[in-house]
Amino acid sequence: MTFCLKILGSGSSVPAYGRLHAAQLLTINNTYYLIDCGEGTQLSLMKFRLKQNRINAIFISHLHGDHYLGLTGLISSMHLLGRQKPLKIFAPPGLSEIIAIQLKYSNTVIRFETKLTELTEDTLYLIHETTTHTVHAFPLSHRVPCWGFVFREKPKPRRIIKEKLPDNILIQDIARLRSGMDLSDQSGKVIYKNKDLTLPPKKSRSYAYCSDTVYDPQLISYIKGVDLLYHESTFLKEKEDIAAKTYHTTAEQAAKIAKAANVDKLIIGHYSARYRTVSEFQSEASKTFGETELALEGKTFCVEE
């Protein structure tokens, strides 16, 4: 089953050198999640042949323009393309007013329902849940209220070894096996051990998104052990003083967070427009955390089960 992240935009406040504003698409099986929606998001979706009306929910980290200014246009396009199913949006307070004003003065009435949930808590907390996975939000330290997100698959059932199943086994017995139970007779005697008829469950995968934030070790407890971590790295170490003043992070600092959090892979992005090329970001971060890759438009990162 699919657990893949597609980079749609990797730049920061000003689009530069082919890098668009922040946007990512996370696919968990058949569910599409858009994370941030800067200008150019629709163009990236079309370029990479991703159907925007398949998006189930949108997560906006904060209300700086490079992270949300593409949203009203995307919603309008969804309307024009005939979307009917509801769209869930999770965002800081104020976004609903911004969208309402833009739609009001363009005399646009959206044909589908938008369900906007405001982010308010200053700790890790559940904001969205399905039968297979959860989404938690957590606070980041930036110049305006800002949140990160952790997407985690729920524990999966054990896998049945079909060729070892006894004849005429009942459906409820298969359910017990998948939950890890042995099979017993009416007297309580174990007649089939779970370990003989099943294999361990497939891996439950995870992804954490740390949008704009100053270097903050307090984040480590929220993202510990995830398979994929995206952490902003607006500047290189040489601009560490500017990063601190503007509440951003360097590539080296992002790598320190990844190492301390014991994640499997780090993805860095949100590059400042002062950098024409970004290969040096990977070089800098990899000295601290070897499993570092660059967020580049069109690049896909998948986690296997």
The residues carrying an active-site annotation are: 66
Backbone angles phi and psi of 97, in degrees to 5: -70, -40
Sorted by sequence, the CB contacts under 8 Å of residue 120 that are 6+ apart come out as: 93
Kindly give the residue spans of alpha helices, DSSP state H, lying in 55-137: 71-80, 95-105
CA–CA gap between residue 146 and residue 105 (Å, rounded): 28
The full 3-state SS of 231-282, as one line of letters, equals EECCECHHHHHHHHHCCCCEHHHHHHHHHHHCCCEEEEECECCCCCCCHHHH
CA atoms within 13 A on the CB side of 211: 34
